[in-house]
Amino acid sequence: MTDWTTQTDEARAWFESLRDRICAAFEEIEREAGSDAAFAYTPWQREEEGNADPGGGVQGLMKGKVFEKVGVNISTVRGSFAPEFAATINGASPENPGFTATGISLVAHMANPHVPAVHMNTRFLTTQAAWFGGGADLNPPIPYEQDTQDFHARFRAACAGHNPTYYDRFKKWADEYFYIPHRQCHRGVGGIFYDHLECDDEAAFERNLAFTRDVGEAFLDVFPQLVRRRMGADFTPEEKQTQLEWRGRYAEFNLVYDRGTLFGLKTGGNIDAILMSLPPEAVWS
């Protein structure tokens, strides 16, 4: 098994720096709205029997005037999968269950129903294989075509700088992944989703890290623009109700289908950090 320690550290450093810049950008928006809300950071340590260095992470959480609830988490964990779970993971098996994983995960639920909620995650994992995955998707309770187009255009540009096939492939993957079968509807208006960008050598690692960086930069560029565009809009009680009902669908997807939620729970992650994706308030009519 290749030792990917140096590469894991490089990816971790990027995810942490992206976290810092995103949180600063979101706090700046709160200041523009007249709020002094700020992120509270809670470190956590993972536990695994017989593992002297299982890793951990930091949960970042802010509740403000614009961002009703936003979590920006980072983690770096290492250890062994349970045998039955190892059989479901790329490059792992019950005989070789070892892994490392480092990443950033973000979910923002907004106070104003005209402002889209959003999810973003990028990660680097190693088993007997090593790969990057991630993406971002927009989840508006009240969709606006301009917002959808601008979001997709920014990620299309990020993909185009690396591979002309990426955007179409990863948009399709997001459309298929962020779908709620029992509701027969999509979770939002999509974005991109990618996984198993394999790192067979150092050159492939650097290439895929560069793409993953550009995904993070695309998110940091476009989403604050959408927030500022809509955060001052008036809304009705009926529109707030629409948002709360839509949040119920979001919660259903994350609890029933989301692979990231399952990965965190199966690897002994921090429960509060894993479930920070759930909205602060939702209804089921």
Angle subtended at Cα 92 by Cα 86 and Cα 98, rounded to the nearest 5 degrees: 85
Residue 12 lies in a domain: yes
Structural domain of 200: 5-31+40-277
**pLDDT digit string, tens, across residues 243-260:** 999 999 999 999 999 988
125 vs 112: CA distance, rounded Å: 36
**E strands present in the chain:** 40-45, 55-62, 67-80, 98-110, 117-126, 130-139, 179-180, 185-186, 190-198
Angle subtended at Cα 97 by Cα 93 and Cα 99, rounded to the nearest 5 degrees: 125
| Cβ(170)–Cβ(149) below 8 Å | no
Residue 282 lies in a domain: no
**pLDDT digit string, tens, across residues 207-249:** 999 999 999 999 999 999 999 999 999 999 999 999 999 999 9
DSSP state of 116: P
The residues assigned a catalytic role are 119
Residue 149 lies in a domain: yes
**pLDDT < 50: residue spans in the chain:** none
CA dist list (Å): 242 to 78, 108, 141, 285? 41, 17, 7, 10
194 vs 190: CA distance, rounded Å: 13
Residue 283 lies in a domain: no
- Token pair, residue 37, equals 């809300």
Short-list 254, 253, 218, 281, CA closest to 69: 281
CATH code assigned at 101: 3.40.1500.10
Residue 89 lies in a domain: yes
Task: Tell me whether strands 190-198 and 185-186 are parallel, antiparallel or unpaired.
Answer: unpaired
Token pair 């895929």 is found at 208
Residue 255 lies in a domain: yes
| Cβ(11)–Cβ(209) below 8 Å | yes
120 vs 108: CA distance, rounded Å: 9
User: Would you state the pLDDT for residue 285?
Assistant: 76
143 vs 114: CA distance, rounded Å: 8
Residue 284 lies in a domain: no
184 class by beta-carbon count within 10 Å (0-12 exposed, 13-18 middle, 19+ buried): exposed
User: Would you state the pLDDT for residue 1?
Assistant: 52
* pTM, entire model: 0.95
Number of separate domains in the chain:
1
Short-list 193, 211, 209, CA closest to 12: 209
DSSP 17-61: HHHHHHHHHHHHHHHHTT-----EEEEEE---TT-S--EEEEEEE
